[in-house]
Structure 1
Amino acid sequence: MVGGHESFGAWSLKKAPALTWSEGDNWVSEDVELPVDGVFVYKYVVTDAQDAGKPVAWQKGNNQVLVLSASDAPLLIVQDDWIGDPAKSYTSAEDGSDKMLSEQRLVQRIGDADAALHQSRLDVMDLKVEVKTAQLQSAALREEARLSSNVRLKLKQQLSAEKKRSEVLEQQVFEWKNKFKTLGPGKEKKDKKDEKDSGATKKNAAAAAAKAPPTPPTPPKAPPAPKPASSEEKSR
């Protein structure tokens, strides 16, 4: 029995597992370890008794196909026919239960593969939708970042302008303070001097008024003199 997997000799007759004859004209091999969930191709061949690498006769028909799944562990019994009749090639559990044609197992595996492929296509479509949505979200975020950058730039410009205005106001306040410091003491001295001069003037006026003699009372005015008579009155 030789096949594509290493356990079948990788199509090398010298490495392939040998079969031994048993009662009922059945040829049986030792247990062959194969990975679960796989598809394996093999074929029976009669080799030369002196040279195992020399084929004498090959099994008729197509290659045998064995489909394994995780549920087949730990042991699966495989029975084939030398003439290659698919109706006589089947698998079963160790106790003879769960008997199934090898061809049926292959058809079931193909159906499962088609269903998995269909589901994969649906998943791919969903992924495409998610990718498209992610692209739209990314574009929206980039636009938002651009607008935010423009807003930050405008705010920065406004803050810079406000800072300049504040500096100008501080400079004006500083200049006014210096101006008030320059004008303040002189004005205060002038006010005090004016106040002092005004007080001295008032004192001098009071002293002069005290030293001057009292003013005599004003005499009454004399009555007006009579007017002389006119010439007309004199002739009368």
Structure 2
Amino acid sequence: MNGRLPVLLAALAKRLPSHRMSDPQRHLRLADGPADPLLDRWAAAHPAAGLSSQLGAMRAAWRDEAPGLPGTAIALSLSTADAYEQTEAPPAELVVSGPTSHAIPVRLTSAIAIDVIRSARDSLLIASFAAYKIAEIVTELRAAADRNVRIDLLLEESTAAARAFGQLHGQVRIWHRADVSARGSLHAKVIAADRRIALLGSANLTDRALSDNVEIGIILRDPRTVGRLVDHLRWLTGPEAGFLQPV
């Protein structure tokens, strides 16, 4: 089978964790074809952000490329894609700032942060509680913007983190908490490139956190896990969550 349908089925398998795959597979097995109203009702009722449009694209490809295939065949294809996704993921890699030891191989946070930013082809999603004195990171973000990478910065307003990115006006989208009077803060520290690789840990985007402070983090190279992380952070910017709003 050629065309968009295999790609879209693989993307759907990557998006949903295995324990939630049985529901779409069951509905697909019961569906007579891509236009079955049963699939409309399931998509409308599913809470995952953006899943309805993703399922709609898959059904459109099913209709255009293989309308004679029964729902059981599509369900089997989805199950096969999910099984393939369960192959062993690349191990998480430890990242540190500050003194290093011989206990375990590690890489420095500053170098990894730059590597992740440079690896982005389509999008960068970055969250940080604080940000300052990060000229090299800003330079790398400008280079990413110049190669048409979409950049979203989820920043804590109370720390004035957005000031560190003032030179990137018009090249990035900055998000703050919608209700700054509410309890809690945006305390996550994440750099995610596309849906493939992510650096997360204790380090803020500051010169000391990236180099001098004792900080611990990991780098994930499992697209399935990274994809779910990106979906959650993007959900925070959407109307359903109402947690973040663009500056």
TM-score range, shorter chain: under 0.3
Using CA pairs under 8 Å that are at least 6 residues apart, name the structure with larger relative contact order, 1 or 2.
2
Larger gyration radius, structure 1 or structure 2: 1
